[in-house]
Amino acid sequence: MIAALITLGILALIFGAILGYSAIRFKVEADPLVEQIDAILPQTQCGQCGYPGCKPYAEAIANGDEINKCPPGGEATIKHLADLMGVEPKPLDGAHGTEDVKKVAYIREAECIGCTKCIQACPVDAIIGASKQMHTVIVDECTGCDLCVAPCPVDCIDMVPVKETPTNWQWKLAKNAGGTVGDINIKELS
């Protein structure tokens, strides 16, 4: 009995060592460009670009897909992507949705029936709660992707704009004719 335990244990140890070594020896380096693109994308995992998440879209961009399919990222993301990829920035592709003010989900807790459907829909696990218990949204984690709104059977989820505080306030810059946010006009500054 003891011999069996020790033998199998040693066997497992040796195999573990071999596999561990070969995992380092045969490590596959991911495309560094994909990592860089993924870092620029807003990580809402909303799927509005038509891909199942930000990482797949990053891979698609690296393989030559358009850079203007990300509504949550908006013009700023497109501009960064254009810089990185060395292409001209384009206006957001309207087919994938429009850029909106930043919102977070809010669950009217009195109406929540605790069905957990919104928890399953949330791509970033920003909703906590259990079956037959009221759910709530972790505001800091919520990416405002709207995906939890549709599954709610009692429609108790609202998308509320994020309140402006001194930490997230930004200049309201006028949109120019192309729809892109330009830099501040010289005239406005002086």
Partner 1 sequence: MTEFILLLISTVLVNNFVLVQFLGLCPFMGVSSKLETAIGMSMATTFVLTLASLCSYLIEHYLLIPFDIQYLRTISFILVIAVVVQFTEMVVQKTSPSLYRLLGIFLPLITTNCAVLGVALLNIKEQHSLFESIVYGFGAAVGFSLVLILFAAMRERLVAADVPTPFKGAAIGMITAGLMSLAFMGFTGLVKFS
Binding site for partner 1 (CB under 8 A): 3-4, 7-8, 11-12, 15, 18-19, 22-23, 26-28
- Contact of 122 with 132, CB cutoff 8 Å: no
**Cβ closest to partner 1, residue 31 vs residue 164:** 31
**Cβ closest to partner 1, residue 35 vs residue 158:** 35
**Cβ closest to partner 1, residue 11 vs residue 154:** 11
Q: How far is the CB of 20 from partner 1 (least distance, A)?
A: 11
Q: Where are the beta strands (DSSP E) in the chain?
A: 103-107, 127-128, 136-137, 157-161
Of all helices (H) and strands (E), which one includes residue 87? Answer: none
Q: Where are the beta strands (DSSP E) in 103-156?
A: 103-107, 127-128, 136-137
Q: How far is the CB of 28 from partner 1 (least distance, A)?
A: 6
Q: How far is the CB of 14 from partner 1 (least distance, A)?
A: 9
**Cα separation, 104 vs 52, whole angstroms:** 21
**Cβ closest to partner 1, residue 21 vs residue 150:** 21
Q: How far is the CB of 3 from partner 1 (least distance, A)?
A: 5
**Cα separation, 49 vs 93, whole angstroms:** 9
